[in-house]
Amino acid sequence: MMQFLGSSDQTKPDHPPKVVNIGAVNPYALAEVILGRPIDKTSPVVANIISEVLQTQYSQLFDMKHDSVLYPGLKLNSKGKEAERIKSEDMKFLNEDDFITPDLSRINKLSDLEHVGLKNPLDLKVEKAFLQGGQLNLVLHQKTLGKNLSNHALTNSLMETITPYRKHRGQWTAPNCVWGTTNELSLRIQRKRLENLAINLGMGMGMMNRASTVGPLGSTQMAQQEMDQEMVQMAQFNDPVQGAIANSWLIAAIHAVAWSDPYRICRDESFVLDSTHREKEKEKKRGLRIKLYSKGGENDAHTAEIDVDYDIPVNNVTNWPVYCRSSNSLGAVWPAMYEKAFAKWLTKGTGEHPDITQTSAAAAGGDPIKAMAQINDRTPHYFFTSSRSGQDLVGLVRANSVSFKTIHPMCAYTHASGDGLYRGSNLVANHAYSVLGWISSPGTQQYIVLRNPWGVTEPVGMTSYSGMLDLVDRKIWPPADMLDHQGVFALEADSFKHYFACLGIAK
């Protein structure tokens, strides 16, 4: 029998859905995998970079109706309301020849477009029309001209990296990656960040010295102070950040439990793995022992303690994790270890290199609400937004919060598609978010505070969202000082109902 969370009908949970396929790939992590180098996620041109690399208009990346590459192995169902998994035989492998563009040099009039494969060009929908320098520019809506990356068509290396589908079975390692220890990785990243900071400070000091505007502190003192602040910032937060795979259902759930009940998260780095689990019998290696709990249905396994070492897939070029990582990139290993433990648990594997791609929603579904319960061994409760008002939904968050911060893990996930709703990386279709708490504004409006597991907030002004506060600091929400602000935003209660399909609790 379902448990009642209160006396009102609106606080009574709904029946759990039979199938949930929530997940969207982090486009920033995916672009870095393809480029082989980090990108500046705060740059005003980051949308252009992502659009070019992922071969899709930026505004069309974040809704499933556009067959976006961010949903590999997933598609809208026949009703266009929910995600369903694509059969492996329907996935297409692309090669270099598939990306050759047709010769457009001989096009002199619209009817000539038929020669490059556009049928009935005069009937094509105009995506955008604008004047530039007195000339009319048209962007035509046409999906069949050439081949691009999509939810069902990927290169072989991307298929191996971001989906559970592959040509060859056996021991798995992501393409262009090695299994490296997170401690070594953290030291390399820390050293690189401090080197970059020192370079930037040196340039700044040079300009200040030339202008004779050096303050009372000497340049050495100021540089040391800046570097000390950088070290504090890197060590302060370790929120999980999703990588290049469609498992937002898992990363949002991990963060939700860590945020509301941090003692539930195993961080004991002194644990030594049993040598019988190692290929080298006498070798001892540190790791984590993580207990995960069976909750039935898809994407589940028997309750078990899972031992994992600190090896994770690291890109050969960037020395950066391909999948889940910590927001501070400095010594916090537990986020990647939980992702690895889930992969090992779900595949019932015994080796130290489980297939991380099996945590993709395309493998066996993705349910962030059940995932929270699989971590904290509580009961998952589902509250669908369609039958509740915005005030009902914010009331559920308030009932599970103290001092504006959730005390029971909460997640929410968006609709699979929406008419113009999902046009940027803050609010994404078929995507899971951690629910962090609530805000009461000076007026009558109340907001629900959320975190995108991508750990990125779009540059201000890039995309507009109804009812969103994209800057959440301690002035309006006191718990803001307890986590990295990137990816954190607040939605007015009625806007939350509009964008989100379900709110869930594990208690």
Q: What is the pLDDT of residues 198-215, one digit of tens each?
A: 665 554 434 434 433 344
Assess whether pLDDT exceeds 90 at residue 268: no
Taking the C-alpha atoms of residue 174 and residue 245, their distance in angstroms, rounded to an integer, is: 11
Q: Point out the catalytic residue in the list 381, 408, 431, 485.
A: 431
Active site annotation includes 452: yes
Q: Point out the catalytic residue in the list 247, 452, 485, 498.
A: 452
Segment 409-434, tens digit of pLDDT: 999 999 999 988 999 999 999 999 99
Taking the C-alpha atoms of residue 45 and residue 42, their distance in angstroms, rounded to an integer, is: 9
Mean pLDDT, range 12-41, rounded to an integer: 95
Assess whether pLDDT exceeds 70 at residue 141: no
Segment 298-333, tens digit of pLDDT: 999 999 999 999 899 999 888 889 999 988 755 578
**Residue spans per domain, the chain:** 9-19+370-506, 27-99+147-176
Instruction: Calculate the alpha carbon distances from 329 to 151, 183, 293 in Å.
Output: 30, 10, 28
Please check whether residue 115 is in contact with residue 32, taking contact to mean a CB–CB distance below 8 angstroms.
no
DSSP label at residue 90: G
**CATH assignment of 9-19+370-506, among 3.90.70.10, 3.40.30.10, 3.30.420.40, 3.40.50.300:** 3.90.70.10
Segment 51-93, tens digit of pLDDT: 999 999 999 999 999 999 999 999 999 888 899 999 999 999 9
Taking the C-alpha atoms of residue 472 and residue 456, their distance in angstroms, rounded to an integer, is: 13
* Residue 285 binned pLDDT confidence (cut-offs 50, 70, 90): low
Most confident of 98-112, 253-267, 273-287, 493-507: 493-507
Taking the C-alpha atoms of residue 161 and residue 176, their distance in angstroms, rounded to an integer, is: 9
Segment 79-134, tens digit of pLDDT: 888 999 999 999 999 986 666 666 676 777 777 777 666 777 777 778 778 887 77
Q: What pLDDT score does 218 carry? A: 46
> The tokens of 342 are what?
């889930």
Taking the C-alpha atoms of residue 477 and residue 441, their distance in angstroms, rounded to an integer, is: 10
